[in-house]
Amino acid sequence: MMRSTLIALGMTLLARMLYDPMITNDVSEEYDFIVVGGGASGAVVARELSDKTGMTVLLLEAGDSDWGNPLVPSPTMFDMLQESPANWNYDIAKQKYSLLEMGKNAKYPGGKILGGSTSINAMNYLRGSRHDYDSWEDHGAKGWSWKDVEPIFKKNENAVDENISEKAGRGGLLNISISYQHPFSVKLKTAAKEIGVEEVDYFDEIEGISPLVCTKHKGIRQSSSDAFLRTGYKEREEYLHIVTNALVSKVHFVTGAKTKQKATGVSYIKDGKINTVEARREIILSAGTIRTPQLLMLSGIGPKNHLEEMKIEVVEDLPGVGANLQDRLEILVFHAIDDHQYATQSTMESIMEYIINGTGYNSAVRGSGVVLHHKTKYFGTNVSLSTKKRPFPSIQEIFTPKDAPLPFKTRENYRFNTALLLGVQHPKSKGEIRLKSKNPFDQPIIDPNYLSEEDDIKMYIEGFRKLEEFEMSQTMNEIGFRLITPEICNGSLYTKPPRPDEFYRCYEKSYGVGYHACCTAKIGKENDEMAVVDERLRVRYVESLRVADASVMPHETSSNTQAPCYMIGRKASEMIKQDWNI
């Protein structure tokens, strides 16, 4: 009997050719809460505050509805989504220490669509290490330790795959399942055992090699829009209004209690018209690591000198807004492979398997199936402010069998290639976000300052060393697995491992991408002048304004940002309800 992705996908695409019933243009003058941004965190906040609370909520999303976009449901459309209008496709400032061969063409992704980046990402669902959150508490995020956040993760999750650890949540709104295990993934797990790397279930133990868990069900993407906004929407439509193509340009303030400035409403631009709406209780910014600090600064909250330079009236001098930008530069690493069965791409058979069963190569983004986390000999050097040297892993490597095009020239001959992303989990290098102008449509200046710290460079080299162990294993030798070396780094001299550190220094500085920015409005103690929000996510020194997205993270986690953002949205909702006795 066909429990068919063919039927499910066909019905989904047919429905999405029609008008989205969840979107409205009939906006009231005021709401109890206004949520800015419909990504992982914002969608959860909007859902939770409007669900059986009697509270009215307005969700403003700068992008279009996901409902009419046929690229969103299918994992195979990932690359097309990255090149579509659903991606903000931000420019990255020219880097001094990295991306040297990428030049001015380096871009930064962000979901400009309902569902935010959950509608365009690779769907990898990784919570991070328990030690990440204990370290957050070390940094002043009281109440954000692992014992505090693990139950929040579980409330969101619905592990539909029985092979996922019992430590994952069941019964939540977000469906998660194990990614397709390509023959290449199986081979990697065999090689890992050979070199002494343990196979683990990520939910039980992060360090080791683990099958990827993704936000999908029966081969179809589960975005925050699908999971948290569309489910049971008719029950909440009286209380939750969602407006798309609405770019919020400013938060408005009046003088409140004890002369503090109180957020009272926002202006947003839709169809070329400026609209203003008020919030009776609070405004929650969930616009993401890039847009949230931009909106704060446009509204007069940020570094005083920068705001004055932009000729913006200063509401509150908060130097941490836009600072502390962290992201692991993910190095693009390519290996040759000779055996075609381990480099299988989309075929008619795999397409039919996906259509009929929702499984197989086409059910996974680029066929990816496993993730490796490990420490290095430099453990503790990249732990930011923590003096406790929390034992989270230093390196993440996500493998894919996809025969992706190389961004460099090489003299090597090979039949197929695989691709992977190598990232340092807790970089010391920090950048910043600054306004380019007062125009909200102008992209801000994004400078991640990748590889500005020597410790980060050393960490990446250790990541390459672990890959050399795979390369030299008998298991991977059997299929001709070997690093493809770029000409730019004198690669023809270093075709076989072990390779000198200087080769890897050149490689890592030349090619990479960024996907998981965070920390530009971080949680921190009151005596931390760079803290933007307190442990309850309230913007410091003003009233009725919170932030709930990746920008509040004190530091990067040992994971992609999707799962932590869902958790942040759920925890923010609970704190808001507590504070307002809802």
The reply to whether 374 belongs to the active site is no
The span from the CA of 111 to the CA of 170, in Å, is: 27
Contacts by residues 478-483 (CB-CB < 8 Å, ≥ 24 positions apart): 478/339, 479/187, 479/337, 479/338, 479/339, 479/342, 480/336, 480/337, 480/338, 480/339, 480/414, 481/335, 481/336, 481/337, 481/418, 482/335, 482/336, 483/333, 483/334, 483/335, 483/336
Catalytic residue among 182, 374, 516, 555: 516
Q: Which of 522, 550, 42, 556 is nearest to 318 (CA)?
A: 522
Angle formed by the axes of helices 501-510 and 454-472, nearest 10°: 110
In sign, the C-alpha dihedral spanning 177, 179, 180, 183 is negative
Strands (E) in 78-198, as ranges, are 90-91, 107-108, 157-159, 174-178
461 — phi, psi (to 5°)? -60, -40
Omega before 21 cis (within 30°)? no
C-alpha pair distances (Å), 168 with each of 37, 153, 327, 574: 27, 8, 26, 20
What single letter denotes the amino acid at residue 474?
Q
Catalytic residue numbers read 516
